[in-house]
Amino acid sequence: MKVSEEKSIMDGKSLLNIAKELSEKGFTDKLGSGEKAINVALGSQVQFHDGSRALRREKLKSQFTESLKLINPDDVEVDFDSLSVSGQTVNAKIKIERLIDVCNKLDNQKINIYPNNLEQVHNS
């Protein structure tokens, strides 16, 4: 998944406002635990240009994995099968109740968060 220009980097409060709007319109998702979550793309601020595609994929996956160790595993679910080397992103779900904390921790780890459902907010 390549992050489109329509998507923007969000701080925790902005993302929480979008999550609330998505929730009101029924466009949220659920974590495996059943708690409400927002679908996002996590994007690396670190550029991986050196080495083969497989090596860049491993470096990118490692960065996401290490960064997520600082987050309570009950707050985020990551779909590593969606990892995009060219877009340097991976799809994830973040628990709405923990959104601001997760955003702050990931921002400190050079990980951007892009909401995946902006079109649904604007088109409904």
The two three-digit tokens of residue 54, written as one number: 């497989």
Q: Is the pLDDT of residue 82 over 70?
A: yes
Return the pLDDT at 9: 57
Q: At 8, is the pLDDT very low, low, confident or very high (cuts 50, 70, 90)?
A: very low
Cα 72 to the center of its chain, rounded Å: 15
What share of the chain has pLDDT > 70, as a percent?
84
- The DSSP bridge partners found for residue 89 are 43, 84
Q: Is the pLDDT of residue 31 over 50?
A: yes
Q: Is the pLDDT of residue 5 over 50?
A: no
Q: At 10, is the pLDDT very low, low, confident or very high (cuts 50, 70, 90)?
A: low
Return the pLDDT at 119: 58
User: Which domains can be identified in the chain, with CATH numbers?
Assistant: 12-119 (3.30.70)
86 CB-contact burial (10 Å; exposed 0-12 / middle 13-18 / buried 19+): exposed
**β-pairing verdict for 111-115 and 89-95:** unpaired
Do 66 and 87 touch, CB atoms closer than 8 A?
no
Prediction pTM value: 0.82
